């Protein structure tokens, strides 16, 4: 799949709340020009929960065509409906996506057996690589290590984006899964800890605004420059805190608009940031800009 920093790209909207493809095009070029290692489209940060099925299809197809194989495109095709996830996953494969990111089913709160059957069914219907996405704080479902170990034996399930924040659980994953199974940090404040356990990189919100340095955290670690990687991880601590002081992607869209990218607002029910949170976020972005 990829090694390093994959950006969990936002979906820009225009003043009428429609997908803004002109801005999306510019964002894709900006990411590639600043060393991002992969683009993850239509994920949580891309507001997949409020994109219609047709919008998802259009955004995935546009991103694949715009990227032109310069870096991998991984399509967020997860759903709490297995049949819907199969449908959009097959579509993403048909238009040239390099891989899939599949969040755990949400709200249904399936059992671990149901979780296995859900992912197994999707994997049987596509041939491209699958990255599972574990974010129990948002979905209410945790992929237990035993379940993941079973899933990792399915040929095209190649990795996991781990956003449980549970370092002990993540360590247990490394001790159980096959050596070539990829584990990506799903939290920007845990890039280095997960890399130190054997992680392959990060699927990042921070990379939307600081792609080059997010890439460099990983690059420095892989090249053995651990102290430089540590300095960069800590350099962005307060920015990362600001990016998650309200529900993602509210703050990162605020940051991008502040930096002049005109990505529009989030769709309801996500709303504008509270004044004090916005001030905290923008102050810390300015602090970073001053030392770049």
Give per-residue pLDDT as tens, 147-162: 999 999 999 999 999 9
pTM of the complete model beyond 0.85: yes
pLDDT digits (tens, 9 = 90+) for 223-274: 999 999 999 999 999 999 999 999 999 999 999 999 999 999 999 999 999 9
Six-digit token string for 99: 């891989």
Which CATH superfamily hosts domain 4-234? Aldolase class I (3.20.20.70)
Q: How far apart are the C-alpha atoms of 84 and 74, rounded to whole Å?
A: 17
Our answer to whether residue 119 is catalytic in this structure is no
Spatial CA neighbour of 161 closest among 127, 187, 129, 193: 187
User: pLDDT by residue for the chain (292 residues), tens digit each?
Assistant: 899 999 999 999 999 999 999 999 999 999 999 999 999 999 999 999 999 999 999 999 999 999 999 999 999 999 999 999 999 999 999 999 999 999 999 999 999 999 999 999 999 999 999 999 999 999 999 999 999 999 999 999 999 999 999 999 999 999 999 889 999 999 999 999 999 999 999 999 999 999 999 999 999 999 999 999 999 999 999 999 999 999 999 999 999 999 999 999 999 999 999 999 999 999 999 998 755 4
Q: How far apart are the C-alpha atoms of 21 and 4, rounded to whole Å?
A: 26
Our answer to whether residue 161 is catalytic in this structure is yes
Question: In Å, how far are 74, 77, 148, 205, 248 from 166, measured between CA atoms?
Answer: 24, 24, 15, 19, 19
Catalytic residue among 57, 161, 216, 253: 161
Domain spans of the chain? 4-234
Q: Ramachandran region of residue 182, left (φ > 0), alpha (ψ -120 to 50) or beta?
A: beta
Residue 236: what pLDDT? 97
Catalytic residue among 91, 116, 119, 133: 133
């Amino acid at each position: 799949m990829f090694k390093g920093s994959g950006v969990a790209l936002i979906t820009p909207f225009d003043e009428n709340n429609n997908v803004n493809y002109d801005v999306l095009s510019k964002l894709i070029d900006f990411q590639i020009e600043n060393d991002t290692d992969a683009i993850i489209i239509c994920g949580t940060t891309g507001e997949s929960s409020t994109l219609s099925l047709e919008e998802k299809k259009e955004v995935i197809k546009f991103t694949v065509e715009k990227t032109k194989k310069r870096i991998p495109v991984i399509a967020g095709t997860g759903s709490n409906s297995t049949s819907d996830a199969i449908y959009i996953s097959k579509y993403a494969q048909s238009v040239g996506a390099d891989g899939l990111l599949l969040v755990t089913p949400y709200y249904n709160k399936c059992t671990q057996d149901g979780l296995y059957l859900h992912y197994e069914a999707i994997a049987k219907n596509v041939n491209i690589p699958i990255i599972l996405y574990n974010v129990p704080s948002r979905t209410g479902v945790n992929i237990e290590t035993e379940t993941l170990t079973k899933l990792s034996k399915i040929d095209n399930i190649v990795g996991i984006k781990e956003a449980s924040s549970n370092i002990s659980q993540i360590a247990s994953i490394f001790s159980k899964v096959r050596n070539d199974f990829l584990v990506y940090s799903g939290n920007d404040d845990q890039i280095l800890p997960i890399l130190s356990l054997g992680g392959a990189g990060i699927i990042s919100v921070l990379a939307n605004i600081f792609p080059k340095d997010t890439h460099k955290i990983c690059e420095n670690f892989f090249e053995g420059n651990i102290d430089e990687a540590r300095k960069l991880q800590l350099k962005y601590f307060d920015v990362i805190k600001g990016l998650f002081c309200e529900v993602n992607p509210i703050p990162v869209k605020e940051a991008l608009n502040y930096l002049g990218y005109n990505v529009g607002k989030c769709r309801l029910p996500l709303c504008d940031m509270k004044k004090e949170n916005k001030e905290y976020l923008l102050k810390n972005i300015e602090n970073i800009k001053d030392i770049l």
